[in-house]
Structure 1
Amino acid sequence: MIPSIRTAYNQQFTPEKYEAFLAGIASDAGIAPAFRVAETPVFIPASLTSKLVQACEEIIDVLLRPGFKTLTQNAIPQRLNVPNENEHPHFIVIDFAVTREEDGSLAPQLIELQGFPTMFAFQEVMARRFKEHFEIPANFSNYFNNLDDTSYYDLLRTVILGDLPPEEVILLEVKPAEQKTRIDFQRTEKMLGISTVCLTELIQEGKKLYYLKDGKKTPVRRIFNRVIFDDLEKQAEQLGDFVNLFQELDVEWITHPNWFYRISKFMMPFIHSDYVPKSWFLHQLPVLPTDLENYVLKPLFSFAGKGVLLDVTQEEINKINDPENWILQRKVQYAPAIITPTGPAICEIRMIYIWPDGAIRPMLVHNLARISKSRMIGVAFNTQDTWVGGSCCFFER
């Protein structure tokens, strides 16, 4: 995106540096990534950074509107509604495609947003290892709001642990050892001192939850939630017996599961910004556009690109028997803005917010990037290419 820096990075790259970089990540986390890590970070010019921040803040403004919960009351499937929802999410992630405007300048376009955590610990490791193994210009940073590696973890510790001892806080997931994000779980354990627990390992006594830590029954007072509940629903039969999380329990959620649905594609029709593609709930469209080839159909309740229809036709729409659970969105044209030795690549940028209790607004803290050479973005869609996969951004200051 910045030609001189891109050229310099590509010239300094060697396979040996890349292998040392991957080995450093595995050493820090204790295991190797279960997904492809790209050979390069993404260098973001100041002009694009300002647009990204503006777009994010416009989206946050919608979230802060009076009556936001009323506006999004239909976002949560009734069967997946968890009691004791708090006043705001602790985490917000906002995904943008990098596109080009008519004048040729780079610009973001919203793809997805979620009230859900992301790979906080892994992204710190990746960015730090990029800086150790490659020459990253000093006026570029992976952080926002003057954070560094130390203050970033201090913030995570405050939000996730609060004033509780680490043994009473757990990272909750379904079959965590089988998840592609398990490297993040392991690094989180190391940095925060909490345990990763499978849902099937929880013990319920009345409204209280426990787990076994070193063979000792230990109370769970706070859950750092990584369970995606619609995915849980699909796996329920294979899991056997497990605690019903859709009941009154004496536990705090970080962040509460309902925010996964409130801050999601469900919000997109309500956001009006130059950086958000026009979107409509499918069941509320009186007339379909005649140029359906310029649109994409997205299921409201999906994750990691599952179920997205890139080639929309009247026939495909006619097959949908629950149009209230779909949005029709103006298609975004990714710009092949990253020049690599094996050809141009496109990318998405995830802007990561943390919202501590008591804060007026969430705070932009970090980022994640995905680099691709296929039609779909995501580590599952780039199994044959090089210079693609999970990455991070360094923003020009």
Structure 2
Amino acid sequence: MINDQHQQCGAAGNPEQHPQQGGNCCPGAGGPAGQPKMPGAATCAPPDTSKDPKVPPITGTDPCPALCLCPPAPGSTSNCFDQLIADQARAINEAERAKSFKADLEALLQKAKLAQDDYTTEKYHLLLDRWKQQDRDIAELIHRIVCAAPCWRCQVECQVCSLFNKVRSLELLLKGRPDQRYDKAYCLYDQRYWQERDLALKQAAFDRVKRVLTVWEKPGADIEAVLNENLKLMAGVKELASDSAKGLYDVFIRLLPLHLAIAPPASTAVTVIDKKYTELCTCGAQDPDDCCGPDVGPQSVRMQMLDRHAYLVEPAKYFPIICCLVNHRYLPVKDALAKAEADLKSTDAEIKRVADEIKARMDSIEKDAKAELAKPFDCSKYTPVPPCDGAQRTPAT
């Protein structure tokens, strides 16, 4: 039984009373588990510091070998109004984006004011006390689980993490990596494909920031909901009694990550849970993007299953977090997304225009050719190009 094995292992929280059995039994060296960052960083780097690949202008020019020195073809039939119209359309889009963003800011401000009224100092301290108690209870529960399952790490890595790794492999197969896109385009379809991928990446970045802002609309309610869920998870694991293997998933994949996701910064309260119990299923994990405090960066498959959550900070730090997220993350990714959408629409329009022109020219080739052939042609002004010389030349005047 878990209780009997726990008694043999010693009391949790004091490694001197229960030496580690095979490095797996009881919490020990390694330091405390990671906790959310203290908000209020002085600087925030742009969310995407990499430069867009240089996609060269696509002209479609590939001169055919000249068999005769023909006069220059007529210039483009487009007129100066095309660019003026395009410029005005872009200006209209910019104005619409500004109007939309203003409405978003007003909505965010209203929600932040409501959240500030609800997330009081009294409520913060009540939630913090609950978290501290759960931190001790979870450390005790982990101790029982690992004492009953000596090879707990290998069980989790081989039987659970391998499932996450398979999902990650499929995601790479489907989407690739952001840094594996080509940097040149040789036709409009190449350009459109690059822009479609660029749009997908910017949409994902926007969705991450938007989700973080959403959970911080009601931080108290979100933290309380996680505390309640964790209480149920702990009760369920304890009911498993001797079948500790079934509790490994709930403890290491759900309970522990959720508990640490809402943890206060270490400067407020340091967890008694050792970090070795959190270093699981790390394949695909990326550096956090947490300059404002909350992490808005990509998540591993394991963390994606847990969604985003607010964490315990003093109410006085709430508005600085929201302002930082809006100024340094939400606005930049929203603008980047709008630009990516506009660029893709522009390329789609150009593809349609070129395709329509190709069809129109194909349909009128016979008519146009006969009209050209009906015009007078002074043979003395044209000279065939010598054999084996396909270079384009300027006709004699």
Length-normalised TM-score, structure 2: 0.25
Normalised TM-score (structure 1): 0.25
User: Which has a greater percent of helix?
Assistant: 2
Q: Which has the higher contact order (CA 8 A, sep 6+)?
A: 2
The structure with more radius of gyration = 2
